[in-house]
Structure 1
Amino acid sequence: MNNNKAKWIKISFVISIILLLIKFYSYYLTNATSILTDALESIVNVVAASFASYSIYLSSQPKDDNHPYGHGKIEFFSAGIEGALIMVAGFFIIYQAVYNFFIPHELNMLLEGMALIGFTGLVNGILGLKLKSEGRKLNSLTLEASGKHLLTDTITSFVLILGVAIIYFTDLIVLDSILSILFSSYIIYSGYLLVRKSVAGLMDETNPEALKETVEILNKERKDCWIDIHNMRVQQYGGDRHIDLHLTLPYYYELQQVHDEVEIVEEALENRFDGAIEVFVHADPCIPEKCCHYCQLKTCQVRKFSQKSKILWKASNMTKNQKHYHDLADNL
């Protein structure tokens, strides 16, 4: 899996360098600040691809004494660096655009420049879709972030062509600076979103999508003897995932039975996700006076109260640090 990640990052790096040269050549031909905007963002693509290559290499390293959860979080850091670089490039472009607004300069060979930018946009779009797809498939934030960045670059490139075409037909050179400022604002916003996602991952913010997937799997595999699951936490470490939860089982189960049920839960989760999955299950005994009311185990020989309800397993109650009899009143 990590070989596939490295392969696509290397491809992205090589293509980014080629497209960078083409964009700067386009700027050399046209002298348009708006095209310089696109070229400068491509520098970010090259730097980001370099850092992403290292982050994927590091994230593939096995766990060690200093990193018991592995090195996967470096991918969040990589995405944050890429987002920060995008924002810096955006602010620099705004500065250059404002300068050219007051001191305009002549533009040349706009048709040739548009053709070159159109070619780079098409290549970035194809590569961006592929990286985004591979990132989701391999559960890699680094690949997905690079793919989104390239798709953003594609959009700005084609909008840029439209803007340069307007300049070409109207001869309003001042539009070059206005266009650059608009592009830069969009670039800064897309960079902010990457930084925001990076910080969320580094701070172990709840990943709603990962949590939703885990809840869906447990509901699908749910057994009658799994009386409830609570205090569940799902954490993402780059392409790896860590899940821990408390599983309530009948209090009279012997140790071997408890062990078997715990293994079933672990295997159900480990076999349904891509990437490395680490599952820790803590087994709790049921409390007859409180759990019987929603226990689904029809073969229970020590039931003290009849079943009144079935607790629906949702992210909202499975993540609470309490057994589900606290929620029983809401289901009656």
Structure 2
Amino acid sequence: MGAKLNNLQPKKKAILIALCISILLMLAKFVAYFITHSNAILTDAAESIVNVLASSFAFYSIYLATVPKDTNHPYGHGKVEYFSAFLEGALITIAGVIIIFKSGYDLIYPKPILKLFEGAAIIGFTGFINMLVGYYLINTGKQQNSITLEADGKHLLTDAVTSAGLVVGVIMIKLTGMYWLDGVISILLGVYIIYNGYKLTRRSVGGLMDESDIELVKDIIDCMQKNRRAPWIDVHNLRAQQYGADLHIDCHFTLPYYFDLNHVHQEISAIDHIINGNAKRKTELFIHADPCLPACCNYCHMKACPVRSEPFSDEIKWTIENATKNQKHFDQ
């Protein structure tokens, strides 16, 4: 429980900073809109409302993710972070759709735009701040294995990119006098916002559906292969699931059939120690021990095996292709 609380502090600090800054920047963007009446600037201001809502829910999800396991949630509450990222992606997408419709209307029924340089200066400043906070959230999210912080950080970087594009567009409008560009720029930014919303929702849905993280599984298998011990004849049916910052691994290990239960327990504990010693996050393992068969002898490293039926010929290296299949390696 103490470790959970300690892990909460960097996440809580990061998201609180993001929330407070998002509120201030939202107010600044609406000030820019009211002095310019620019639809493109309104686009950026509207997305800031999403920033505030997303950061608010992200704070709650980070708190909930650290709540200990209970009877109703035996794997913990970590998956709420995926739901938080999904909600943020959905809000971003909705904002993008509304922006496109609003901009299309203003292309047909244009209105005067005022004080563009002043508005551009405010938007440029807010974009720069969002870029700094975005990188801070992404780095903290990677360190703490928090998809919520990463999602919020990427959202703020998206906001910074749209702000930069907006500043360039507003300056072009002022210099050329082509005020219809205001609506066109807004539509383009709306499309970009929708695309980033889709990417966020796609990743979060993958996490909620326990979609396999290929790179993560490869890292786990490489770790086992590098620290392989003679009694570990093969590993198969390996699966990995992430619940917030925690990782859960299921797999089958083939061990010599003549090992007693104490010896089997020692080997499984050694596997657990190696994985948690090399992993960047807390990992919970569920290992099923399989007994070896005579057909395993040709790739078994046990030198003093009392029941060997044929000599060792060659090691079968563990890869994502054989370790994830639900069969012993000699069945391939």
* Interval of TM-score (by shorter of Structure 1 and Structure 2): over 0.9
1:272 offset after TM fit, Å?
Answer: 2.4
Deviation of 1:212 (Å): 2.0
Q: Which moved more, 1:105-114 or 1:139-148?
A: 105-114
Counterpart residue number, 1:305: 310
- The CA deviation at 1:274 is 3.5
Structure 1: which amino acid aligns with 2:321? S
**Residues 233, 243 of structure 1: 8 Å contact kept:** yes
- Partner of 1:296 in structure 2? 301
**Cross-structure match for 1:119:** 125
The answer to whether residue 11 in structure 2 is matched with residue 19 in structure 1 is: no
User: 2:325 and 2:135 mapped to 1: Cα distance?
Assistant: 38
- State the AA in 2 paired with 1:267: H
Partner of 2:81: 75
Q: Does 1:213 align with 2:253?
A: no
Q: CA deviation at 1:128?
A: 0.6
Q: Is 2:179 the counterpart of 1:177? A: no
Q: Distance in 2 between matches of 1:213 and 1:131?
A: 24
Q: Distance in 2 between matches of 1:312 and 1:39?
A: 55
TM-score scaled by length of structure 2: 0.96
* 1:193 partnered with 2:199: yes
**What is the rounded CA distance, in whole Å, between the counterparts of 2:305 and 2:29 in structure 1?**
72
**How many angstroms apart in 2 are the aligned matches of 1:230 and 1:164?**
58
Aligned match of 1:46: 52
AA matched with 1:315:
I
Alignment of 1:151 with 2:157, yes or no, is yes
State how far apart, in whole Å, the 1-side matches of 2:205 and 2:154 are.
17
Q: Secondary structure at the match of 2:285?
A: strand
Moved more, 251-260 or 141-150: 251-260
Q: Structure 1 residue aligned with 2:233, among 205, 227, 233?
A: 227
Secondary structure of the residue aligned to 1:284 is: strand
Q: Which residue does the alignment assign to 2:3?
A: none
Mapped partners of 2:223, 2:122: distance in 1: 48
- Residue 100 of structure 2 is aligned to residue 100 of structure 1: no
- Aligned residue among 10, 19, 40 for 1:34: 40
Corresponding position: 1:60 with 2:66: yes
Alpha-carbon separation, structure 2, partners of 1:165 and 1:297: 73
Structure 2: stretches of 5+ with no match in the other structure: 1-6
1:7 aligns with 2:13: yes
Whether the 8 Å contact between 1:24 and 1:39 is mirrored in structure 2 is: yes
Q: Does 1:252 align with 2:258?
A: yes
- 1:266 and 1:281 in contact (8 A); partners too: no
**By how many angstroms is 1:208 displaced?**
1.8
Aligned twin of 1:324: 329
Contact 1:44-1:89 within 8 A present in 2 as well:
yes
Aligned-pair CA distance for 1:196: 1.0
Counterpart for residue 330 of structure 1: none
Q: Matches of 2:248 and 2:30 in 1, distance apart?
A: 44
Higher deviation after alignment, 158-167 or 294-303: 294-303
Q: Retained in 2: the 8 A contact 1:225–1:250?
A: yes
Q: Separation in 2 of the partners of 1:231 and 1:22?
A: 54
Instruction: State the shift of 1:275 in Å.
Output: 3.7
Percentage identity across paired residues of the two chains: 51
Q: Which deviates further from its counterpart, 98-107 or 270-279?
A: 270-279
**Root-mean-square deviation (Å):** 1.1
Deviation at 1:193, TM superposition (A): 1.0
Q: Provide structure 1 residue ranges, at least 5 long, that are not aligned to the other structure.
A: 328-332
Counterpart of 1:233 in 2: which secondary structure? strand
Deviation at 1:205, TM superposition (A): 1.1
Give the superposition deviation at 1:140: 0.4
Question: C-alpha separation between the residues in 2 aligned to 1:174 and 1:46?
Answer: 30
Deviations 1:266-316 (A, max 9, x none): 11112222443211111111102x101211223333321122322121112
Bigger shift: 9-18 or 217-226? 217-226
| 1:86 is aligned to 2:92 | yes
Check conservation: 1:138, 1:239, Cα contact below 8 A: yes
Deviation at 1:216, TM superposition (A): 1.9
Aligned length: 326
Does residue 284 of the first structure (1) align with residue 290 of the second (2)?
Answer: yes
Residue 140 of structure 2 corresponds to residue 134 of structure 1: yes
